[in-house]
Structure formats: C-alpha cells, structure tokens
Amino acid sequence: MRVALAVGGGIAAYKAAELARTLQEHDCAVQVIMTAAAQQFVQPLTFAALTGRKVITGLWADQSAGDQTLSSAVEHIRVAQDNEVLVVAPATADLLAKFANGLADDFVSTLYLAFTGAVVLAPAMNSNMWAHPATVSNVRRLRERGHVIVEPGEGLLACGTTGPGRLAEPEQIAAAVMALKLPQTARPLQDFEGETLVITAGPTREPLDPVRYISNRSSGKMGYALAEAALARGANVVLVSGPVALPPPEGARVIHVGTAREMRTAVMDNLEEATIIIKAAAVADYQVTTVPQQKMKKTATRMSLELDPTPDILAEVGQKKGDRLLIGFAAETQNLTDEARRKMKTKHCDIVVGNLVNQENTGFESDDNEVVLVLSTGEVIPLPRASKRIVAGQVLDHALRLRLALHAAGAS
C-alpha cells in the first residue's frame, strides 16, 4: 500500500515518526509531507531517515533562497496520483478546518484537494478545541465525505489539562489504514517500468572435493526482497541466485548458479540488457586451486589448502557498466562507512549498501536489515532497522533518485 503521511503542527508530531515506522512494518511505502508548523516540533531529517525518501516541506523548492519555482508547486498532483491513502496525523484543528472548507494555502491542503483516494484523519488538539462547535461541525462534514476519523484518546495533554484530544496510538492509526477496502483495480506505482534489473542473491559454494565446499551464511533474503520490490514496481528482473531455500519471485527470470565463476558468467551474459545491476550476493572470495576428483579422506595429520581468488564480478561490471547504474553490497564487521566508500571507489559503483553482519537480528539469515547507503554523490544515508522488504524499497527509491539526478546532470 502506498501512503502519503501528512504531519500537522502539534506536540503529537513526534508520534508520527512512530506511525511511519509502523506503516512500513505493514509493508506500506510511506511518503511524508510536513506543514511548516510540524517542522517546529520534528525535523524533516527524522522522517527522511525512517522512510529513506525525501520529505516534502512546502509548496516552493527553497523559499529561503528565493527559489520560488513551480517544481514543488505542482508536486502535490504527483503525490496525489502516486498514493492510495492520505493519512493526516496529527490532524490539527487548523487542518481539519481547511479540509472541511476547501481552503488550500500550503502543500498539505492542496494535496488534500487533489487527492482522490482514501483519507484517514487522526485529530489531536486541546480538549476545548476538540469540543468547539466549529471543530465538531468540521469533523462531521469530513465524516460525511467518507473519510475515516481515528478518534483522539483521553489523558493528560501537553497544555496541562486532562481530557480528550490525545493523538491515537500509532498502532491504532495503522490498523485503521490496513482495514481500508481499497479498489482492487488500483494500479501499483510503476516507476521502474522499462528498467531491466540484474540482481544477484545468496551465497556461492566453492567445492573442496566432490562432497565438501566453502561457503558463507548468506540466505539470499535481501536479494530476493530487492527482486520482489523491483517486480512490483514494473521492472524486468533477472535474478542470478546462489543456493538458497527461497521460492523464486513470481515474474522474475531466475538463473540458478553454484560457484562464483558460474555467477560471473550469468551476470556477464545478461549485462547488455541491464539498465541497473544490483550485486547483493555474498560471493566467496576464494576457491580451491585444484579440486580433487575423489573425496578427501580424513587422516590424523594437519591438512592445508591452497586457495586462489575468485573472479571479482563487481569490479569487472564496474569497468564495463557504461551508463548503467551499479549497486554493490558491503558486508562488514567494522569501519562500515569507510569500507563502503572504499568499495564504491575501487569497484566504480554508484551506490554501496553497507551492513554490519555481526549485529544481532540483522544481516545474514535474518528477516531484518539495518544499512547505510553510500552514494557516488558523496551522500551517506543511514537506513534504520526494518524488514528486508522495506529496506529493498528504500534502496530502489534512492537508486531511482540518483539515476534521475545523473541523467539531469548529463543533460546539462
């Protein structure tokens, strides 16, 4: 589900950050919009870090710099078209009045008028403001339009009084969103339509003899999540998969491989058709120089193995990528950002996704991940812990943003 989350100006704005995370845990793609008043309580950077997406903060690109262009002024139409649900939390008395009476003087109110999908409003305000006849009338009018009102709770308010007006808990608001009956014909966001992604996933296995091999703990879950997210957004996907215990994503062309050499061949065979390459696989770094034809027998003496480096697929693709976007992964146990930067430069990547694999409940074999994105533009973007499916969507968001920026730079 694609959700536009509009954050109004009130002390309860901090709860909207929890709401954004909760919606993501329900596999929602969240675009945050903040009123000017909301930014006095919570910084946009908080929501950008949580969602991995740019936060919309006003109608104009940069009023402080005098850049009053129309690039942002018409963006409310795109946001209205791209999302299925508009959630407003906290919905202040001011926003409720604007919505009820059709006023439009900022991004949130103009977005509301342009929005044709479902609307969920979570009011929060002083008890007297909530009980005022004007607010009661506005809420009644909004209900009559079919909007869902998540009633405020009772308790101690920021103003020091006790009564109704507290923003409902994030789980309660998210439950109201997930209970919506959306049209089955709603077309998902297809912003990767026309793109062909070659994605590698899982480990490789380098044989020691006919029955043993060198490998690693990669489950392939991150690469498969990327493939599923790209397919859902309209991409053609070629998934080059090492040995994993995961069902193939429906719609992907899956190439099963075992060794690093086999993975290298599959990637290079499909490089020409690719527009984006994502190397999420944990490729073994070494292989046995000479693999015996028969099983090695155990003896009481120490045994040494002679190992050679496996093909460096990422580096080779980096040399041949042309104008394709190349995304690499760096699984580290220390110095994460520095190692991700080094890998980006030496392998000629556009983005490197770094994650610490020695953390509990993230990385290898887990369902969650916590990563940092290092971009060729110099940006370093931490993505907080979330399901690998959510992280996959955030990685794709930044890939598309970088691709558009590189195209714009090339055109100028």
Catalytic residues: 159
- Report the half-sphere exposure of 84 (CA within 13 A, side-chain side): 16
Residue 125 and residue 10 in contact, taking contact as beta carbons nearer than 8 Å? yes
**Sign of the dihedral through C-alpha 349, 236, 363, 287:** negative
Find how far residue 192's CA is from the centre of its chain: 14
Helix (H) or strand (E) holding 288: strand 286-288
Look-up of token digits 């003087």: 105
Q: Where are the beta strands (DSSP E) in 58-128?
A: 85-91, 118-123
- Alpha-carbon distance values, 171 to 120, 123, 167, 243 (Å): 14, 15, 11, 38
In sequence order, the 6+-apart residues with CB closer than 8 A to the CB of 191 are: 233, 234, 400
Question: How many other C-beta atoms lie within 10 A of the C-beta of residue 128?
Answer: 12
Give, rounded to a whole angstrom, the gap between the first and last alpha carbons of the chain. 36
With 0-12 CB in 10 A as exposed, 13-18 as middle and 19+ as buried, what is 327?
buried
Look-up of token digits 């009644």: 140
- b/e code 165-187 from CB counts within 10 Å (16+ = b): bbbbbbeebbebbeeeeeeeeee
SS3 307: strand
The two tokens of residue 236 are 């053609």
